[in-house]
Amino acid sequence: MSRIGKLPINIPAGVTISMNDSVVTVKGPKGELSQQIAPAIEVKVDGNVCTVNRPNDEKQNRAYHGLYRSLINNMVIGVSQGYKKQLELVGVGYRVSNNGQILEFSLGFTHQIFLSLPKEIKVETKMERNQNPLVILESADKQLIGQVCAKIRSFRKPEPYKGKGIKFVGEVIRRKAGKSASAK
């Protein structure tokens, strides 16, 4: 039995889960999310507890069991509490600003980088004196916010020698020693 799949999902107050035609829809104060699931997987809602069951022990059904339980749990957390990610720009002259849902990055290239964000994501940028610029993203969809963070990070990944680049707040970058001068 899947250790993740057999755990029940607690549904907080104000959140509803409905299932029709193998689509699970979760509604809450922060929004509404839906997920297509495999027809073999069964989702039951009893009061404020949701359980995910599988019909047999086939390899594919075992894999789906834990996967769909985690996806539904992430949707429940997303519509009740939401997800928040903070990215930090480390480097001299690195800047970020937002105009609505469009982020503008200045990352040491010859040109600016513009990124249009989906409407499901709330964005805020902070530029304070003597501190690294921050990009703060909030959304109910964990998968979407993770994908957007990965895209932003791909513009300038943190490098191991000086630590410059875009990183998550609190992330530790493994540093390497540079070249050492050799005496002849």
Instruction: Check residue 183 and give its pLDDT.
Output: 63
Domains and CATH numbers, the chain: 9-80 (3.90.930.12), 83-168 (3.90.930.12)
Instruction: Check residue 18 and give its pLDDT.
Output: 92
Q: Residue 134's closest CA among 105, 156, 163, 102?
A: 105
Instruction: Check residue 21 and give its pLDDT.
Output: 86
Q: Are 96 and 179 in contact (CB under 8 A)?
A: no
45: buried, middle or exposed (CB in 10 Å: 19+, 13-18, 0-12)? middle
Could you report how far apart the first and last alpha carbons of the chain are, in Å? 65
Q: What is the pTM of this model?
A: 0.88
Q: In the chain, what's the furthest Cα-to-Cα distance?
A: 78
DSSP state of 71: H
Alpha carbon of residue 23 to chain centroid? 21
Q: What is the DSSP string of 75-121?
A: HHHHHHT-EEEEEEEESTT-EEEEETTEEEEE-SSSS-EEEEPPTT-
Dihedrals phi, psi of 105, to nearest 5 degrees: -110, 140
Q: Which residue has tokens 């959140």?
A: 15
Q: Which residues of the chain have pLDDT under 50?
A: none
Instruction: Check residue 2 and give its pLDDT.
Output: 67
